[in-house]
Chains A and B, each alone.
Chain A
């Protein structure tokens, strides 16, 4: 029983950063903006979170710093693509490259320092219940944040008027503009929300997962988060499921190997991308499904006067 609980806990830790980054990007893409800079914003969150926590001694200040860093960094992307209407793909890629380089520079002095860990939740009594206690009441705080974020985003997008407006911008920015919805303002906020989430996901890596700073510590998780959004066909609950499937496959293969079952690890490393391609093929075969979920203006710059 213990081993099952431990495996589940490990899966949750592996899935949480993917989930947080992906749910943020989902909101961005629902507003019609494609930000490929997730990896860059995530690593900026990781380095700023680590640095702030290390310098102040408080992991919570680290979390806050990571959120702010991610949001500020995404503001650069927002200004370029929304105000200057640059190409979103190229700008997003530059954001990733810039983030990876800049974080390395900021983090030079943090290399080789043991970090501050964000403590796990502990509720006396509840956390001590066998099996469920640890799973429900004994995980790291960001795990609960990630679940809350999924619920909140789902509610916002599909149950509120503002969520409807955001989705309508994503589907047709000119129509939304004609109706008087402030397209650019909405998109600025969506991009910054995505940045804040990516920053928070980075903080999970440098303050919970492995409390340390090393260059490139995101190791491609930003790209997996991007793939996850497509995999989930832009639905929040499917992002939740997808993150846990990806996490379970990864942790499962480690355990399989340790049990002595040979698994080709190269194949499993490629699995998130393969799964995304399969989903893309499946949804594009069904025109109605594609129309329903894919934001129709995704990736197109919006210039009101043109």
Chain B
């Protein structure tokens, strides 16, 4: 049944393949999304980036996308199909597309591939990511200042480095305010299921957390926070409309400028595979307006934001791993490779990382 659903999803995604004008000479750039463009979260933000490409380069570029593409082997067909249909450039926007995309890239050397949040490259495949963890450090500080219980609930999708890095950055931020801050972690095993995410939020609130953090893509958890008069943070999009009284801020992804610059490079013939990882400084990660917070907390958050924009890395030592061994000595800064492969918790996270 699971496989059948996967196949169905792919078919549905395929049915949603949308093409703008089909003028032959236009350069065709394509996107593959893991969720629906209407998720108002992660995939939605990527699609906003695609729309910006269309807006700024629409006279030279046509775009297309496949949504709801399941991670894993099914994704291979999606990428291959786009390559066969004349896409000259394909952006795969989820971690789980990494290996399928790499395989298809080897088969189509003339097509330019880009993969988000992964770490494998090829002569025609570059990688890009945003430093979401910078935002997570800031929300960690806010959570520690605002939580009366000293306990946050954290809803997560899959145990991949991106997510683990986020949990660690959040805890480092929280510990910088309250060294005894605690977090309860629930893995929901999906990127997008509003009802499941809401259930997880309810479970965490029932167990005493008074702030909810999510690394899943729907607005479900914030709606629960709003109903219960508690608080949380938006993910990927500014979700304040769904929880005007509950959202402190949100870590917003802004892919538009990046996509425009890469498609432009492809048009100019200057495109080459790169490893691009941008954050608050470059505007790839933006903090939504701080709300429902006392002035001093807002001020502290803005100061941290400025410090990170100035080049400071939240993963600056001394940092101890969960098992008590040393991760970074005082003053040392984690390099990008270590961060992108992160598979351990820092001290103070009370959870066993699923393997």
Interface residues of chain A, those whose CB is within 8 Å of chain B, are 3, 6-7, 10, 13-14, 17, 93, 96-97, 100-101, 104, 107-108, 111-114, 205, 209-217, 219-221, 223, 227, 250-251, 254-255, 257-260, 262, 264-266, 269-270, 273
Contacts and interface: CB of A to CB of B under 8 A. Distances in A.
B5 A3 contact: no
Given A112-B44, A114-B241, 12 more contacts: A111-B40, A113-B241, A205-B195, A210-B195, A212-B194, A212-B219, A214-B36, A214-B218, A216-B35, A219-B192, A219-B193, A260-B184
A210 B186 contact: no
A209 B67 CA distance: 24
A209 B198 contact: yes
Given A6-B206, A258-B207, A260-B350, A14 B195 contact: yes
B84 interface: no
Size band of the interface chain B makes with A: 35 or more
Interface in B15-60: 15-16, 35-40, 44
Interface of B: 1-2, 5, 8, 11-12, 15-16, 35-40, 44, 67-68, 153, 184-190, 192-196, 198-200, 202-204, 206-207, 218-220, 223, 237, 241-242, 350-352, 354
Contacts of B237: 112
Majority secondary structure, A binding face = helix
B195 A112 contact: no
A211 B218 CA distance: 12
Contact of B199 (A211, A227, A250): A250
Nearest to B189: A265
25 contacts: A10-B199, A10-B202, A101-B16, A112-B44, A209-B195, A210-B218, A212-B220, A212-B223, A213-B38, A215-B37, A215-B67, A217-B194, A219-B192, A219-B193, A219-B194, A223-B1, A223-B5, A251-B199, A254-B200, A259-B207, A260-B351, A265-B189, A266-B189, A269-B190, A270-B2
A286 B266 CA distance: 65
Contacts of A255: 203, 206-207
Contacts, number: 131
B138 to A, nearest CB: 24
Contacts of A210: 194-195, 198, 218-220, 223
Contacts of A265: 187-189, 354
A215 B39 contact: yes
Nearest to A267: B189
A276 to B, nearest CB: 8
A219 B207 CA distance: 26
A258 B198 contact: no
Nearest to B350: A260
A112 B35 CA distance: 15
A255 B188 CA distance: 11
A100 B237 CA distance: 23
Contact of A7 (B2, B200, B206): B206
A7 B195 CA distance: 15
B40 A214 contact: yes
A166 to B, nearest CB: 27
A8 to B, nearest CB: 11
Contact of A6 (B192, B198, B200, B202): B202
